[in-house]
Chain A
Amino acid sequence: MAVKDYLRERFLPHMWCPGCGHGEVLGGLVRAIENLGLSKSEIVMVSGIGCSSRISGYVDFHTLHTIHGRALAFATGVKISRPELKLIVPMGDGDALAIGGNHFIHAARRNLDMTAIVMNNRIYGMTGGQFSPLSGANISATTAPYRTIDRDFDIAELAKAAGATFVARCTTYHVQQMTETIEKAITHKGFSVVEVLTQCPTYFGRKNKIGGAADMITWFKDNTTPIGSKAKQENTALIERGIFVQITAPEYCEEYQKVVERATKGRT
Chain B
Amino acid sequence: MGNTLKFVQGNEACVEAALYAGLDFFAGYPITPSTEIAELLAYRLPQIGGKFIQMEDEIASLCAIIGASLTGRKVLTATSGPGFSLMQEALGYAIMTEIPCVIANVQRGGPSTGIPTHVSQGDVNQARWGTHGDHAIIALTASNHQDVFAMTVEAFNLAETYRTPVILLLDEVVGHMREKLIMPAPGEIPLVDRLRTSVKEGVDYHPYLPREDGRLPMSDFGGVHRYNVTGLVHDMWGFPSTDPQTVHDLLRHLVDKLENRANEIARYKEYHLEDAEIVMISYGSSARSALHVVENRRQRGERMGLLELQTLWPFPSEIVRQKCAHAKSVVVVEMNMGQIMQSVKLAVAQPERVFLANRIDSNFITPNDIMNILRIIQGKGV
Contact = CB atoms under 8 A, between A and B. Distances in A.
Contact of A65 (B63, B66, B72, B230): B230
A57 interface: yes
**Interface residues of A: mostly helix, strand, loop or mixed?**
helix
Interface stretch (A177-185, A202-210, A228-236, A258-266): A258-266
Contact of A70 (B60, B72, B226): B60
Interface in A64-81: 64-67, 70, 73-78, 80-81
Interface string B56-78: 11011101111111111101000
Contacts of B70: 64, 78
A265 to B, nearest CB: 10
Interface in B69-109: 69-73, 75, 89-90, 93
B59 A73 contact: yes
Contacts of A97: none
Interface in B37-73: 43, 46-47, 49, 51, 53, 55-57, 59-61, 63-73
A11 interface: yes
Interface string B237-262: 10110000000000000000000000
Given A46-B67, A66-B63, A41 B90 contact: no
Contacts, number: 126
A61 interface: yes
Nearest to A40: B226
For B57, B63, B240, the residue with the greatest tally of chain A CB atoms inside 10 Å of its CB is B63
A81 B228 contact: no
B46 A103 contact: no
A267 B43 CA distance: 14
A87 B53 CA distance: 18
A4 interface: no
Contacts of B55: 73, 76, 106
A81 B60 contact: no
Contacts of A61: 226
A99 to B, nearest CB: 10
Contacts of A221: none
Contacts of B60: 70, 73, 76, 102-103, 106
Contacts of A256: 46, 51
B63 A81 contact: no
Interface in B116-158: none
Contacts of A66: 63, 93, 231
B162 interface: no
B229 interface: yes
Contacts of B25: 77, 80-81
A198 B229 CA distance: 26
A151 interface: no
Interface in A35-60: 40-42, 44, 46, 56-57, 60
**Interface residues of B: mostly helix, strand, loop or mixed?**
mixed
B379 interface: no
A260 B45 CA distance: 8
A62 B221 CA distance: 6
Interface string B182-197: 0000000000000000
Interface string B201-229: 00000000000000000000111101111
Contacts of B90: 67, 70
B27 interface: yes
A258 B93 CA distance: 33
Interface in A90-117: 102-103, 106
A54 to B, nearest CB: 8
Contact of A78 (B46, B71, B231): B71
Given A73-B63, A77-B64, A81-B68, A41 B222 contact: yes
Contacts of B224: 41
A262 B43 CA distance: 11
A255 to B, nearest CB: 11
Contacts of A263: 43, 46-47
Contacts of B71: 78, 81-82, 85
A74 B69 CA distance: 10
B232 interface: yes
A77 B227 contact: no
B228 to A, nearest CB: 5
Given A11-B239, A64-B229, A66-B93, 12 more contacts: A10-B237, A10-B239, A40-B226, A41-B223, A44-B221, A61-B226, A62-B226, A65-B228, A70-B60, A73-B67, A76-B63, A260-B49
5 contacts: A62-B222, A73-B55, A76-B63, A81-B73, A103-B60
